[in-house]
Amino acid sequence: MASTASHPSPRFYWWVAVVLAVITALEIAVGSMKFFAPVKVVGLYLLGGVKFAAVVGLFMHLKFDKPIYRSLFLVGLAGAVPIFIVLLLTFNRLT
């Protein structure tokens, strides 16, 4: 079985954790905003998305591992989206 890539060093993981901690602090700051609601919503989704991608890609090694694992996870993630939309459409809550 061919190797895809090697593990990053522990030092790299510590740096990722520092970045994640900073993003969490930013999330809290944006979340406490009492004005510019659309900016707040978009900002929180973006920051949450970056954290999600960092943990999946770097801590779960999807960035370094075989593409098949990435595909399997993305299929599940993509499966969640139609369920989300259909459920909200069914109850007329999409908008």
Partner 1 sequence: MTTAPTPENVLTDHHDGDHHDGDHHDVHPIRKTAMWVFLGSECVFFGAMIATFFLYRTEFGDGPTAEEIFNIPFTSASSFVLLMSSLTMVLAHNAFDHKDLRKARVWLAATALLGATFLSGQIFEFVEFVHEGLTVHSSPFGSAFYMLTSFHGAHVLIGVILLATMFVLSLSGRLYADRGLNIELVGLYWHFVDIVWIVIFTIVYLLQV
Range 60-89, binding partner 1 (CB under 8 A): 60-61, 64-66, 68-69, 72-77, 79-81, 83-84, 87-88
Dist. CA 16–CA 20, nearest whole Å: 6
**Tokens of residue 49, six digits:** 């998305």
**Is 36 or 84 the residue whose CB approaches partner 1 more closely?**
84
Range 21-50, binding partner 1 (CB under 8 A): 21, 24, 27-28, 30-32, 41, 44-45, 47-48
Q: Contacts from 55-63 at CB under 8 Å and sequence distance 24+?
A: 55/20, 58/8, 58/12, 58/13, 58/16, 59/13, 59/16, 61/7
**Tokens of residue 83, six digits:** 């369920």
Please report, as ranges, the residues that interact with partner 1 according to CB under 8 A: 1, 3-4, 6-7, 9-10, 13-14, 16-17, 20-21, 24, 27-28, 30-32, 41, 44-45, 47-48, 51-52, 55-56, 59-61, 64-66, 68-69, 72-77, 79-81, 83-84, 87-88, 91, 93
